[in-house]
Amino acid sequence: MAEAERIIGTPEVGDDAQPESAGPKGRRRITALLVVALLAYLLDLGTKMLVVAKLEHQPPIEIIGELLKFEAVRNPGAAFGFGEAFTIIFTCIAASVIVVIVRLARKLYSLPWAIALGLLLGGALGNLTDRIFRSPGVFRGAVVDFIAPAHFAVFNLADSAIVCGGILIVLLSFKGLDPDGTVHKG
């Protein structure tokens, strides 16, 4: 009987075997995801609070001459200010991204994927916080943007985290590394 249980994967009495998902490997990856997400979120939230308190309604601050400025901008739309009338849709997309990442985290055994998803989660939470709590109202709030490179859209740290996380996911996919830690040849 014990041999049959071992073959089908049922641990024997007194056996210390645990499901792989309960082991430290799984917890470490989820912890990494949460730490990266929390850092990205707190950096974004802190910089936005500083921008609103010190930079809003003030002239832009030149960082590198005309090439890079800090300028407070309220963006009700998406990148480059597109889609101002679709703020509620962007709110739903951000909430959906968060749900997908939380569901995917259960199968997460890859540290690079944990970092990438943590960046996406932190960035999505940062912009979602603005959409929910900033004026003109709940689910219609304008995102605080402030990094203004010359000839480009004004953005924030949440946007940067989302882009970096997205680039990392593309690179991991090209390398054949899956979130569960397996590698496949494409």
Residues acting as catalytic residues: 145, 159
Q: Which helix (H) or strand (E) holds 71?
A: strand 68-75
Amino acid at residue number 80: F
Angle of CA points 119, 167, 48, to nearest 5°: 40
Asked if residues 20 and 26 have their Cβ atoms less than 8 Å apart, the reply is yes
What does the alpha-carbon distance between residue 171 and residue 165 come to, in Å, rounded to a whole number?
10
Asked if residues 156 and 122 have their Cβ atoms less than 8 Å apart, the reply is no
List, in order, residues 6 or more apart from 39 with CB less than 8 Å away: 118, 122
